[in-house]
Amino acid sequence: MATDAFASALSTIEKKIGKAIKPVNQNLLCKKLITDSPRLNYEYGGGIKIGCFHRYMGPESGGKSTICTYIAAQFQKHLAEQHPDLADHKKVVYLDFERSFDPDHASENGLNTRSVIDDNGKYDPEGVFVLLQPDNLEDGAIALEEMIKTNTVAVVIFDSESMAPTRTVMQDEFNKANFGSGAKALKEFCNRFNILCANYNTTMFVISQERAQMQAMSHAIATTGGYALKYVASTLNRVRKIENLTEGSKIVGIHMQVRNYKNKTGIPFRECEMDLFYKGGFDSTGEFVDFLYEFSDDPRLLKHVDCRSKGYYNSKTVYGWNYHGKDSFVEAINSGEVPAVQWDAIKDTIQDIISHEIEGQEFTGDEDQLAEQELTKEKAEELSNAEIEFEEEELKKKTKMKKVDTEEVANLAAEAAAEA
């Protein structure tokens, strides 16, 4: 009788609030998108989780918008292939509060920017891209919700939450204090869209600008918008430019570091360094070749190629080839000298190793607190280096000025002696 009563209760619940009670089965396993960049997949713990929030933060010009644009292009390229049930999810929405979206730059990273609105303002049924530029966060949320509920939106790029004003800010007179209004609005945004994105398999990438703490002598970093986004995000990633990539005098990309500080569906605290080219995205082939050395002792990889002798890519006993030097091996891959079917088998093995690696930083205690401590330490090191460079420059200036003063005194003394 008790069982019948509970079955009746389940039926009543479904009638009142829908199918909120889910079966515990394979459908609960998170769906992930595997990109063409193995290092990015590694940083995410095997792939990018679909239907949740991912936060990218970092200093200015670090590559946050570029990497999010590249990932959106990867969703357009691979989502239907890897997840046929999401084949209708073809649209990318760029929520542009910074008013800085560059269609040419996005296209160079592989993003299809054919707009859903043509030049005459009419709907284009073949369009797969939406450039959304509302005046405030609330209007942006209204538009986003309508689009996500069509069940055709794969990715939303929110650029950036730091620059998203609320209606209150836009309507009030300039310089009027509105303490906490932005954090409150962003909290409501996160709470609402965390559910919507999960229900409709839409993946949201939120870009955050870093700010220095206002306290004197503080090396801690901060981001705007309160704590809601930090808690709701499935991954928290920090992007930092290490140096520019150049061809002659022309800058063609950046060498960047991406570090994961929080990962609800994978191993946290992974980091990687990658070359991100403004035309073409990441160097996928080069990254896979680098992983051959990092996983050279893995028996799964040794079934295809032996890279335990540094500089050699030996597959004589398996595929009948042996190359010396990364450049020559990459050239052989790109030219087809290494057959695509063989290289695909090697790449699949590397991706399998990445997805099932169990190494990671073990920790106890609160994950968010540890992530914050790691970020503060890293930022302190950057600021410390900047202070050292500043002091060195100041010392050079003082030394130079002292040298000039000494020369002027000597010249004056010589002139006085001559007049005498």
The CATH number linked to 55 is 3.40.50.300
Domain final position from 338, 357, 376: 357
Local structure of 210: helix, strand or coil: strand
Whether 185 and 54 share a structural domain: yes
Q: Which residue has the tokens 């030049």?
A: 119
Contact 205, 56 (CB under 8 A): yes
Q: pTM of the prediction?
A: 0.79
Whether 319 and 200 share a structural domain: no
Determine, yes or no, domain membership for 221.
yes
Determine, yes or no, domain membership for 10.
no
Q: Tens place of pLDDT for every residue, the chain, 420 residues?
A: 566 889 899 899 999 998 888 888 766 667 899 999 999 999 998 899 999 999 999 888 788 998 999 999 999 999 999 999 999 999 999 999 999 899 998 998 899 999 999 999 899 999 999 999 999 999 999 999 999 999 999 999 999 888 888 888 888 767 665 666 778 888 899 999 999 999 999 999 999 987 666 555 555 566 666 678 888 999 999 998 899 999 888 988 889 999 998 998 777 888 889 898 888 788 899 999 999 988 999 999 999 999 988 889 999 999 999 999 999 999 999 999 999 999 999 999 999 888 875 443 333 344 455 555 555 555 545 544 555 555 556 656 555 555 555 666 566 666 666 665
Q: Which residue has the tokens 């760029």?
A: 94
Compute the distance between CA of residue 11 and CA of residue 168 in angstroms, rounded to an integer. Answer: 44
Whether 194 and 297 share a structural domain: no
Compute the distance between CA of residue 389 and CA of residue 220 in angstroms, rounded to an integer. Answer: 19
336: tokens are 């087809």
Compute the distance between CA of residue 133 and CA of residue 131 in angstroms, rounded to an integer. Answer: 6
pLDDT of residue 139: 94
Phi-psi group of 267: left, alpha or beta (phi > 0 → left; psi -120 to 50 → alpha; rest → beta): beta
Whether 305 and 333 share a structural domain: yes
Domain final position from 254, 282, 310: 282
Closest CA to 133 of 169, 177, 165, 94: 94
19: tokens are 């199918």
Determine, yes or no, domain membership for 105.
yes
Whether 169 and 81 share a structural domain: yes
Determine, yes or no, domain membership for 372.
no
Determine, yes or no, domain membership for 391.
no
Whether 278 and 187 share a structural domain: yes
Determine, yes or no, domain membership for 231.
yes
Tell whether omega for the bond before 309 is within 30 degrees of 0, i.e. cis. no
Domain final position from 342, 357, 372: 357
Whether 172 and 278 share a structural domain: yes
Count up the domains in the chain and report the number. Answer: 2
Whether 233 and 298 share a structural domain: no
Whether 234 and 264 share a structural domain: yes
Compute the distance between CA of residue 315 and CA of residue 330 in angstroms, rounded to an integer. Answer: 15
Q: What is the CA radius of gyration of the chain?
A: 27
pLDDT of residue 253: 87
Beta strand pairing call for 250-263 and 271-277: antiparallel
Compute the distance between CA of residue 218 and CA of residue 363 in angstroms, rounded to an integer. Answer: 26
Range of the domain at 41: 34-282
Closest CA to 272 of 69, 81, 35, 107: 35
Determine, yes or no, domain membership for 3.
no
Whether 209 and 337 share a structural domain: no
Whether 268 and 211 share a structural domain: yes
Whether 252 and 107 share a structural domain: yes
Contact 51, 28 (CB under 8 A): no
Determine, yes or no, domain membership for 69.
yes
Closest CA to 333 of 342, 352, 275: 342
Closest CA to 333 of 341, 325, 343, 323: 343
